[in-house]
Structure 1
Amino acid sequence: MTSFTVRRLGPDDSAALERLAQDETDFTDEPPSPPLTPDAARAYLSDPGVWHWHAEDAGGNPVGFLMAYVHRRRHGEPLDVMFEEIGVRESWRRRGVGRALVDALHAQMRTQGIGSVWVAADSDGARAFYEACGYELDELQGVILSRSGNDGAS
């Protein structure tokens, strides 16, 4: 089996984000996104509330990624984590990359003393993966709704 390493990206890793944006379809089956500008990428990767990991092959090429946000809460535990997104290059799926990325997230949570994390599953396959990683369906949460701030409505 081909080996890979997992590392958390830092402020000087804007090129890694750019490669990910260019190859996004291979990771997420979605159209490519425009990459952040170098300044925006540095700000994103410097933000302590943004956690972004890459799994990389021996040549340093991304084969998977995971990003999450640390949230401050108004009650209960002071912090939780929103597990925002995970993607694994199609040719690397079912080889432990996704699980290794989730393990890195959970290790960071332990290091920071954060006990809870939540994620929205957008497909049966995603839900099965998260359940295999120890997540449970929260029956109280329904669907996620969104709104663009640019639609002119109040």
Structure 2
Amino acid sequence: MSPFTIRRLGPGDEAALARLAADETDFTDEAPSPPLSPEAARAYLADPQVWHWHAEDGQGQPVGFLMAYVHRRRHGEALDVMFEEIGVLEAWRRRGVGRALVAALHGQMRAQGIRGVWVAADNEGAQAFYRACGYEVDELQGVILSRTV
């Protein structure tokens, strides 16, 4: 039996999101983010276009997470998925947590008939992980630019 389980979060899991925000550095090596307000967390978890999974230990504590968005396209396939982020606690890395989360994403995509998924990887470690999960570098999409308005 696996030492962790994977489950998709939904309405009622607002506290799990708050725990993740508080421990973000442990999952992603990034500075902690302020948690969503209770109303924003409910809306996030109720949005069918937001897919969020947790890997949880035997006590129900998160040891990893994956978040993706489903979005409509104006041409080609009607829908694709933007794989937004993944994080695994350092003590749980290299134990199959990340791969299990990616497998959950791919399973949901198959169940909904969505074929395309893309992810931005800004470092070699992330790129190596995604390649190990079957992803390939898209040379046409080599950069991402952003702006806050």
2:105 aligned with 1:105: yes
Per-residue deviation at 1:77?
Answer: 0.4
The separation in 2 between residues aligned to 1:28 and 1:83, in whole angstroms, is 15
2:51 aligned with 1:51: yes
Identity rate, percent: 80
The separation in 1 between residues aligned to 2:2 and 2:132, in whole angstroms, is 23
Alignment of 1:1-154 (within 5 A): 3-149=3-149
**TM-score normalised per structure 2:** 0.98
Deviations 1:81-106 (A, max 9, x none): 00000000011000000000000000
Specify the alignment match of 1:152 in structure 2: none
Report the 3-state secondary structure (helix = DSSP H, G, I; strand = E; otherwise coil) of the residue aligned with 1:129: helix
**TM-score normalised per structure 1:** 0.95
Deviations 1:111-135 (A, max 9, x none): 0000000000010000000000000
TM superposition outliers: structure 1 runs of 4+ over 4 Å: none
Q: Give the letter aligned to residue 130 of structure 1.
A: Y
Q: Give the letter aligned to residue 121 of structure 2.
A: A
Q: 1:107 to 1:2 in 2, by over 3 A?
A: closer
Number of residues paired by the alignment?
149
Report the 3-state secondary structure (helix = DSSP H, G, I; strand = E; otherwise coil) of the residue aligned with 2:69: strand
Q: Give the letter aligned to residue 71 of structure 2.
A: H
Per-residue deviation at 1:2?
Answer: 6.6
Per-residue deviation at 1:64?
Answer: 0.1
Deviations 1:3-32 (A, max 9, x none): 000000011100000000000000000111
Report the 3-state secondary structure (helix = DSSP H, G, I; strand = E; otherwise coil) of the residue aligned with 2:99: helix
The separation in 2 between residues aligned to 1:123 and 1:140, in whole angstroms, is 17
The separation in 1 between residues aligned to 2:2 and 2:134, in whole angstroms, is 26
The separation in 2 between residues aligned to 1:8 and 1:50, in whole angstroms, is 10
CA RMSD, Structure 1 to Structure 2 (Å) = 1.0
Q: Give the letter aligned to residue 13 of structure 2.
A: D
Q: Give the letter aligned to residue 50 of structure 1.
A: V
The separation in 1 between residues aligned to 2:142 and 2:105, in whole angstroms, is 24
